[in-house]
Amino acid sequence: MNLKLKISSIALLFTAFIFGQEVENALLWEITNKENKQTSFLFGTMHVGCNVELNDEIRVAFEQADILLLEIDLTNPEMAVEMRKHMFMRDGKTLLDLISEDEYQLLSNYINPRLAPQGINLEVMKNVKPILLSTMLMQSLMDCDNPGSFDMQLARLAQEMSIEVMGLETIEQQMDVFNKIPEKKQAQMLLESAKDEGKKDQLQLQSMMDAYQSQNLNALQQLAKEDTSGFIEFEEEILINRNKNWIPLIQKYMTEHSVVIGVGALHLVGEQGLLNLLKNEGFEVNPVR
């Protein structure tokens, strides 16, 4: 899994906290500006998945668009450098400052076999933020030979069609949000995964991928309600505030351009989800079948 995909995978961990009314089951939505009839599209992605392919409806949407908006601009040539700036805990802190030596050994036994194919072990990564270690383990949780990312596929298609790619937030802004989860809490959540060899995480990820492939947003919401990882207590900072911050940018771009927007699928749903927030701003919102 390359570095861009590792970081873009982070959001998968945080898209599970908007609950509320049911929504029609569709991943692609047509958004119409009632004033000038400008049409854009909102697509709910999954940041990691198996055998990732974009369907014909999305390709048709791209034919009408001149901008692709993603959570972060995955085509930015400086992205890897920016990511590395935010990977590490400050002041020389390591996992051994957050957990006991026995717990560190437990993590080593869990992480090392799973990251060995990437040439990585915990000893050389012990000063990396625990939340990033969690995302690096995602590929090992997927039972497939061809893992991928819908966000990356969207970015590649945009480049093929000479469509400009832009981000709703920078790497720094995204990491500032995730940094609101205390590092000790991050480490404890990583330990919980290690204690059962990632079995619970694997089952949840597979269930989410199945629901996503079925375009079943309501099933995804239900899975979110059943999540016990501990991220829910950071719902306001990690999900709701991000949606609210994105709306003015989305509104601006959709007023001036035809846009395809690709964000994690569960950013779409619920009272504070993008679909409802866009309706509140006067846009017409309809599923694309």
The percentage of residues in the chain with a pLDDT greater than 70, rounded to a whole number, is 89
283-287 and 147-148 beta bridge pairing: unpaired
DSSP state for residue 181 in the 8-state scheme: S
**What confidence tens digit (pLDDT) does each residue in 50-60 have?**
878 899 999 99
182, amino acid identity: P
Cβ–Cβ under 8 Å, residues 123 and 135: no
For residue range 88-111, list pLDDT tens digits in order. 999 999 999 999 999 999 999 999
Domain ranges of the chain: 3-287
Distance CA 247, CA 15 (A): 17
On the question of pLDDT at 9 being above 50, the answer is: no
Number of residues that this document lists for the chain: 289
- For 55-117, what is the HEC assignment? CHHHHHHHHHCCEEEECCCCCCCCHHHHHHHCCECCCCCCHHHCCCHHHHHHHHHHHHHHHHH
Q: What is the pLDDT of residue 36?
A: 84
Amino acid letter, residue 243: N
| DSSP letter, residue 213 | H
Q: How many percent of the chain have pLDDT more than 90?
A: 58
Share the mean pLDDT of the chain: 87
Which tokens go with 131? 């939340």
Of 201 and 236, the structure prediction assigns the larger pLDDT to: 201
Paired with 286 in beta bridges are 30
pLDDT at 169 over 50: yes
115-157 confidence digits (pLDDT tens): 998 889 999 999 999 999 998 888 788 877 778 889 999 999 9
